[in-house]
Amino acid sequence: MKRGIAITVLFQLLLATAAIAQFNPAWQGKKCAVVITYDDAINEHLDNAIPVLDSLGLKATFYVTAFSNSVQTRMNEWKKISATGHELGNHTLFHPCIGGKGREWVKPEYDLNNYSVQRMVDETRMTNLFLHSLDGKNKRTFAFTCGDMKISDSSFIGGMKNDFIAARAVRNEMHKINEVDLYNVDCYMVNNHSFEDMKVWVDKAVQTNSLLVILFHGVGGGNGLNVSIDNHRKILSYIKLQEKDLMIAPMRTVAEHIKEWQARDKQIKAQQQATQIDYKNMLAKLKIESTRPGPSGNPSASNAANVDESKASPYTSLPDPFLLKNGKKVTDAKTWWNKRRPEIVELFDKEMYGRVPTNTPKVRWEVISITDTVFGNQKAITKNLRGHVDNSSYPQINVDIQLSVTTLKEVNKPVPLIMEFGFIFPAGFRPQNNNAAPQKSWQEQLLEQGWGFAIIVPTSYQADNGAGLTQGIIGLCNKGQHRKPDDWGTLRAWAWGASRAIDYFETDKTIDAKQIGIEGLSRYGKAAIVAMAYEPRIAIGFIGSSGAGGVKILRRIYGEQVENLASSGEYHWFAGNFIKYAADPLTQNDLPVEAHQLVALCAPRPVFISSGSPNVEGRWVDAKGMFLGGVHAGPVYKLLGKKDLGTMEYPAEQTALMDGEIAFRQHEGGHTTGPNWPYFIQFAARYFNR
């Protein structure tokens, strides 16, 4: 898959779902997981297995029978391997098994036929205490001895699930992460297998995205279930060579990952179900049976979004920002402020972003902690805050706003501050760095300028999914009920949170509350432009790759479309009424408002529109459509005595248009504002500290 296509697909997946709840990568983003285990704690593990594992940097799980000869005579060596990262798992005190035909080697005193469930539980717990004395660990995994899981038809593991995070059996199978039973984990037991035999297991795990647990007993001897030293070394070396595709870790680590993944998966499914209920509720209120399907962000899909400029249908119904409801034209600033601007706000409230309730709850800010921080060479102080939202009207819902504020350690006067809508990524997800070259962090760059920065976490007070619309600040205001068609959506709620943060900034003596900027990327780029349009205290905006629903012209048939925004994955960002424009007979051309009018609501304040390279970021966000959103807002800026973009011609990549109050630059990187931060800071410096 080409890099640009891969990033486009990833962006589509992230954009169409709620990042924190929907992105749930199995195996820490790799193709499969491999756990290497050794049973019975024999000398050959210390002498033959450990040296190979350590030379390759691999960590394994050793299932220890406490009274084995090796443990009793070489206890310090077993203690040492646990200190280097290998796991000591529980394989009981005496290795009891079910005796009988074919198992004449089982001693009567350790025959499970002569055990009670309670004796097995007691001995197993005693082994945990012994292992704790060796490694100090409290979390433990278990391996069934001989694969025996019952005593007189009674399972004994059921009473010990609180003692272990997983239990390994011996059945030769592998499963995908959603199919793994953590208290009956299958494995492939090595019994004189060749390297080629074992290689097939690894390859199958990669192909099927499964968990492969390999069970060794003897290594170069020590047990009848043996693997030769050569084949053991070869398979471990092969696993090491594949590590870019394999999650290779001890059983405890992999089991914890599986447990967390399965819990998230359960939560996601519940959330998806609740989202569908809410979405259908809104469709019913609008008397809409179904909406048109949107195009796909995957260029190879049969319904791929148009990214051919020659096929981008021209729009003929772009709303005129100067045309009053009475048919007259705005010709002066006074009429804009007093008549036309309020008309546009009303249309956005009703048809797109929704109305904020008249009496939203008050927010009480609390400083949770103050810490010294360092960004590059800049010494700073970070205040972590919580905005406690008054829920006395409906105590069933608690809402807190997460906010951090960072300024230089030595500040002798109030400083400008840029507030970012900050992502919190789910476990296992690491955003791809699409910058062309290493650069200073945006935080360091702002501090070098003498400015401060704040990070507000939008999902702390309003979830990024439809299920959350009866929770968070929207749910609190609605007392847990579903929305009405013109109630506010998530973008407007996130913007409300930014306004409450500014309330706090006005009380902080280190911050110049008249020089506050807002920045956001992707869905948070949409939130940033919405916040700026509605909040006059925001002095400047840095709007990153906001795409459709942000500063992109919605009437342009290119990249993401209204149908995508109105789907069950994204409708929550908007008022319910917005869905109408994705259902016949209405289309985006019937919308009474457009993106250029949203930008115009920010006038005369400066706005910097940022985008990445279409070859890296992809074309889903439609950089040209965002450029045109800025272009068509220009007349309003000029009416108010400010400069527009200065051109209607779409510029070449990496061309900075920064002479007016509307700026635009398409950097060379991907879905990030990173490479444009130096340009934005240069742009903002014209307005700050004057």
- Beta pairing, strands 226-227 & 246-248: unpaired
Q: Could you tell me the two tokens for 206? A: 């990669």
pLDDT for the residue 130: 98
Question: Nearest-CA neighbor of 387 among 289, 273, 512, 496?
Answer: 496
Statement: residue 14 has pLDDT above 60: no
Q: Mean pLDDT throughout 680-690?
A: 92
Q: Could you tell me the two tokens for 77? A: 């060596």
Report CA 333 to chain centroid distance, whole Å. 44
348/598 Cα distance (integer angstroms)? 8
pLDDT for the residue 10: 39
Q: Mean pLDDT throughout 159-168?
A: 95
333 assigned to some structural domain? no
627 assigned to some structural domain? yes
pLDDT for the residue 181: 98
Contact 201, 195 (CB under 8 A): no
HSE-CB for 570 with a 13 A CA cutoff = 26
Statement: residue 11 has pLDDT above 80: no
Domain boundary among 237, 260, 283: 260
Whole-structure pTM value = 0.85
685/679 Cα distance (integer angstroms)? 10
183 assigned to some structural domain? yes
Contact 466, 571 (CB under 8 A): yes
pLDDT for the residue 9: 33
Cα separations (Å) of 322 from 337, 488, 553, 634, 639? 11, 26, 17, 12, 10
Contact 480, 469 (CB under 8 A): no
- Over the stretch 347-374, which tens digit does the pLDDT of each residue have? 999 999 999 999 999 999 999 999 999 9
pLDDT for the residue 210: 98
Cα separations (Å) of 399 from 360, 385, 474? 12, 13, 10
Contact 53, 25 (CB under 8 A): no
- The burial class, CB within 10 Å (0-12 / 13-18 / 19+), for 168 is buried
308/624 Cα distance (integer angstroms)? 12
Q: Could you tell me the two tokens for 106? A: 């089982």
Check residue 102 and report its DSSP letter. Answer: T
Statement: residue 29 has pLDDT above 90: yes
- Over the stretch 471-490, which tens digit does the pLDDT of each residue have? 999 999 999 999 999 999 99
How many helices, marked H, and strands, marked E, lie in the chain? Answer: 21, 22
Query: How much of the chain, in percent, has pLDDT values that exceed 90?
Result: 91
- Over the stretch 189-225, which tens digit does the pLDDT of each residue have? 999 999 999 999 999 999 999 999 999 999 999 999 9
- Over the stretch 511-549, which tens digit does the pLDDT of each residue have? 999 999 999 999 999 999 999 999 999 999 999 999 999
- Over the stretch 455-466, which tens digit does the pLDDT of each residue have? 999 999 999 999
308 assigned to some structural domain? no
- Over the stretch 562-572, which tens digit does the pLDDT of each residue have? 999 999 999 99
Peptide bond into 295 cis (omega under 30): no
Helical residues (DSSP H) of 299-431, grouped into ranges: 333-335, 341-348
Check residue 351 and report its DSSP letter. Answer: I
pLDDT for the residue 438: 60
Q: Could you tell me the two tokens for 432? A: 């791809």
194/206 Cα distance (integer angstroms)? 19
389 assigned to some structural domain? no
Residue with tokens 């509605």: 534
Contact 182, 255 (CB under 8 A): yes
Backbone angles phi, psi at 227, to 5 degrees: -130, 140
Number of compact structural domains in the chain: 2
186 assigned to some structural domain? yes
Cα angle 180, 185, 186 (rounded to 5 degrees) comes to 105
Taking only Cα atoms into account, the Rg of the chain, rounded to an integer number of angstroms, comes to 31
- Over the stretch 236-286, which tens digit does the pLDDT of each residue have? 999 999 999 999 999 999 999 999 999 999 999 999 999 999 999 999 999
Reported confidence tier of residue 12, pLDDT bands at 50, 70, 90? very low
Domain boundary among 260, 288, 314: 260
152/117 Cα distance (integer angstroms)? 9
- Over the stretch 248-260, which tens digit does the pLDDT of each residue have? 999 999 999 999 9
pLDDT for the residue 690: 62
| Domain boundaries, position 159 | 29-260
pLDDT for the residue 4: 38
pLDDT for the residue 613: 97
Statement: residue 6 has pLDDT above 70: no
Statement: residue 437 has pLDDT above 50: yes
Contact 551, 601 (CB under 8 A): no
pLDDT for the residue 425: 64
3-state secondary structure 105-116: CCCHHHEHHHCC
Contact 519, 546 (CB under 8 A): no
pLDDT for the residue 427: 52
Kindly report the average pLDDT of the chain as a whole number. Answer: 94
658 assigned to some structural domain? yes
Residue 537: CATH number of its domain: 3.40.50.1820
- Over the stretch 75-104, which tens digit does the pLDDT of each residue have? 999 999 999 999 999 999 999 999 999 899
Q: What is the DSSP string of 119-147?
A: HHHHHHHHHHHHHHHHH--S--EEE-GGG
Check residue 362 and report its DSSP letter. Answer: P
pLDDT for the residue 424: 79
385 assigned to some structural domain? no
**Sequence-distant (≥ 6) Cβ neighbours of residue 427 within 8 angstroms:** 260, 264
Residue 200: CATH number of its domain: 3.20.20.370
Helical residues (DSSP H) of 515-670, grouped into ranges: 523-534, 562-565, 595-600, 623-631, 634-639
Contact 426, 543 (CB under 8 A): no
Please, what's the largest Cα pairwise distance for the chain?
Answer: 101
**Sequence-distant (≥ 6) Cβ neighbours of residue 195 within 8 angstroms:** 230, 231, 234, 235, 238
pLDDT for the residue 153: 86
SS3 457: strand
SS3 363: strand
Instruction: Please measure the distance between the N-terminal and C-terminal CA atoms of the chain and give it in whole angstroms.
Output: 49
Contact 598, 526 (CB under 8 A): no
pLDDT for the residue 1: 33
Domain boundary among 244, 260, 276: 260
